[in-house]
Structure 1
Amino acid sequence: MAVTLKDIAQQANVSLTTVSRVLNYDASLSVSDETRQRVFEIAEQLNYVKHKRFGRQQVKKIAVVQWYTEKQELDDLYYMSIRMGIEQHCQQLGFKAIQVYQNNLDQLPADVDGIIAVGKFSQSQIKQFKQINSHVILVDYDGLGLDCDSVVTDFDHSVSNAIDTFLLRNLKDIGMIYGSETTADDEENVPDPRRHYFIKKMQAEQIYQPEFVFEGRYTSESGYQMMKQAIRQLGEGLPHAFFIANDPMAVGALKALQEAKIEIPNRVSLISFNDTTIANYVYPGLSSVHVATDQMGASAVDLMVEQFNSDRDYVKKVTVGTKLIERQSVVNHR
């Protein structure tokens, strides 16, 4: 006699609806990991036919493609934490996450059920992903124009909030250090959206000064060099505040200011972006825009589940909000 959902529900001591939604990987279902695991185990023990395709040999496999190499990822905890958020949520849903790094794209398995690409990829790379599997999610890259579901950060309100924080301290001469980068294959330039929103906000406040804006790379060394350049070029006219595009750059800028014996935050206040662990462990602690990287990762997996379970013919973008974490790098008053 064939095993039914009712049989599983009785043994698992849950409702028939819960069993159905668990076995269909319904991400909107609020159920404990213990209950979810119990349903899967009983379904497998009873050789439930529909569940067999999700059995141990046929678990959904998700390739998590990191645009960085393993070494680069260690230098940028932001992308590492997004990847970890994806892997954790995959584990909760019973999926197998397969790590693939930028320098190993030729090792991308052909039999994966979906691809979550973290970082900046060119159109040709995204086309390559789609040739392997039609289920593709982009994280930290707007995929609407590329016909891909995506998860991004709310840069607009994040940057505006950082500048408002300076303005509340009567800090109106505000500089910026931002990064430039290319896609993983170096085919396309990727502009920093924070620069766009910084200029937009500063112009709206009628306080934008282009000579206060410096372009580098998203590394500590680049942040160090850009701040040294600012100190050298601007002298006494150095802004009293800087918004910096990520934590590694901010750490480098902090070092340059300390070497020049410029007091932080009394002479120069700093606000960084991403709020990785290093923001809290440097001295003084960096005020930083906290990005919910774990939620970005989980949202990407949820979008993948939605693709598995629906036949929608439009793409979707999830924008995750942020919050500013204030520490010692911003002056309390002025």
Structure 2
Amino acid sequence: MATIKEIAEKAGVSIATVSRVLNYDPKLSVGDETKKRIFEIAESLSYQKKAPRKKLTRRIAFVHWVTEREELTDLYYMGIRHGIEEQADQHHLHLLKYTIHELHDIPNDIDGILAVGRFSKKQIEQFKQLTQHVVLVDSDIEHDGCDAVLTDFKTVIKQAVDHLLDQDITRIGFIGGKERLQGTATPAKDIREYYFRECLTEKALLNEDLILLDHFNVDSGYELMHQFLEKPLANNTGFIAANDPLAIGALKAINEANIKIPDHISLIGINDISVSKYVYPALTSVRIEKELMGKTAVDLIMERLRDDRQICKKVYIDTSLIKRETT
């Protein structure tokens, strides 16, 4: 921390003047330029590091919520991984890869952790015991005391709902799922479902009969929509799926039932994975910049290692609605 004497020397004023300026003495007769100079010097000196910069080390644990085989069921996580690997290569970082089932294999002398997915509070505390340099990616709720790269799912849901309302669709449903974090007894609250309920409640449009929940995969999307279509269908219904695999599964069931899309049912996915534009009809989806999330996570850990940043930072990446044939 800078001393008043150091600030006075740099500002070319007395120690007493600096003291009175920093204490906002109302009786002090000093020009604004002098005050500005003193404050700027005080601010700049407060962030100067007295100790020599630490040698940059490059062993980073990359903890992935899914295996590379499992990520084939949701290319969202593949996109994040590609972003991390590409940016890590640019910074010459050595990534040591672990899955959620291998947390106890992470060495105690690791220099940082990049963790992708949804982890329990207990698991995040385990990360923080290994290193103070922890960056979480896609951790919706638990990210206190860590850097995090996040998606504003409240905005994501609003983008999807507003688009359906613009098409004069007011019967709006949600296709989602429930999952239990490792080491927890009850399913974790899905933030997408939470914001969907909040948004539709505010608009007095929430219909529990249109909320379909199972698991977050293609098969669940298919089964949920297949069961829904066994009941009489009201025209002009729209569904928002928690991810694209759910939407793609639902799309298959709608096509098998020979129901016209989007004349009778409209459908919006979330994530905009690469296959969304190749299914038939092409899927409207809210695009999440997956690769950029991964690259941003690496940049955050580089700030920690290179600049010794101590204050946690949360970075939200913008999303955009990609309109295609299902709406």
Bin for the TM-score computed over the shorter chain: 0.7 to 0.9
The answer to whether the 8 Å contact 1:69/1:103 transfers is: no
Is 1:272 the equivalent of 2:269? yes
Partner secondary structure for residue 221 of structure 1 = helix
Give the direction of change, closer, same or farther, for the CA distance of 1:173–1:187 in structure 2 (3 Å limit): same
Partner secondary structure for residue 320 of structure 2 = strand
Q: Which amino acid aligns with 1:256?
A: A
Residues 233-279 of structure 1, C-alpha deviation per residue, up to 9 Å, x if partnerless? x4223761111110111111011111111111111110000000121
Q: Which amino acid aligns with 1:212?
A: L
The answer to whether the 8 Å contact 1:175/1:239 transfers is: no
Residues 133-188 of structure 1, C-alpha deviation per residue, up to 9 Å, x if partnerless? 22111110146653211111111111111111111111111111012112244556
The answer to whether the 8 Å contact 1:230/1:238 transfers is: no
Instruction: Tell me the percent identity.
Output: 40
Give the direction of change, closer, same or farther, for the CA distance of 1:188–1:322 in structure 2 (3 Å limit): same
Partner secondary structure for residue 233 of structure 2 = helix
Q: Distance in 2 between matches of 1:188 and 1:152?
A: 23
- The within-5 A match list for 1:27-38 is none
Residues 45-89 of structure 1, C-alpha deviation per residue, up to 9 Å, x if partnerless? xxxxx99955xxxx5111110011232112111011111111111
Give the direction of change, closer, same or farther, for the CA distance of 1:187–1:131 in structure 2 (3 Å limit): farther
Is 1:326 the equivalent of 2:323? yes
Q: Distance in 2 between matches of 1:211 and 1:226?
A: 12
Q: Distance in 1 between matches of 2:62 and 2:296?
A: 14
- Name the counterpart of 1:237: 234
Is 1:82 the equivalent of 2:80? yes
TM-score w.r.t. the length of structure 1 is 0.77
Is 1:292 the equivalent of 2:289? yes
Unaligned runs of 5+ in 2: 1-51
- Name the counterpart of 2:21: none
Give the direction of change, closer, same or farther, for the CA distance of 1:269–1:317 in structure 2 (3 Å limit): same
The answer to whether the 8 Å contact 1:82/1:293 transfers is: yes
- Name the counterpart of 2:189: 191
Q: Distance in 2 between matches of 1:328 and 1:128?
A: 45
How many residue pairs align between the two structures? Answer: 276
Residue range with higher mean Cα deviation, 130-139 or 283-292: 130-139
Give the direction of change, closer, same or farther, for the CA distance of 1:143–1:305 in structure 2 (3 Å limit): farther
- Name the counterpart of 2:256: 259
TM-score w.r.t. the length of structure 2 is 0.78
Among 204, 207, 210, the residue aligned to 1:206 = 204
- Name the counterpart of 2:58: 60
- Name the counterpart of 2:138: 140
Q: Distance in 2 between matches of 1:152 and 1:314?
A: 17
User: What is the deviation of 1:287?
Assistant: 0.4
Among 199, 213, 218, the residue aligned to 1:220 = 218
Among 90, 106, 114, the residue aligned to 2:112 = 114
Q: Which amino acid aligns with 2:300?
A: L
Residues 5-63 of structure 1, C-alpha deviation per residue, up to 9 Å, x if partnerless? xxxxxxxxxxxxxxxxxxxxxxxxxxxxxxxxxxxxxxxxxxxxx99955xxxx51111
Q: Which amino acid aligns with 2:262?
A: P
The answer to whether the 8 Å contact 1:115/1:136 transfers is: yes
Among 95, 100, 109, the residue aligned to 1:102 = 100
Q: Which amino acid aligns with 1:160?
A: K
Residues 177-206 of structure 1, C-alpha deviation per residue, up to 9 Å, x if partnerless? 012112244556322111111122212222
Give the direction of change, closer, same or farther, for the CA distance of 1:88–1:118 in structure 2 (3 Å limit): same
Q: Distance in 2 between matches of 1:287 and 1:231?
A: 21
Among 155, 166, 172, the residue aligned to 1:157 = 155
- Greater Cα radius of gyration, structure 1 or 2: 2
Partner secondary structure for residue 229 of structure 2 = helix
- Name the counterpart of 2:245: 248
The answer to whether the 8 Å contact 1:66/1:119 transfers is: yes
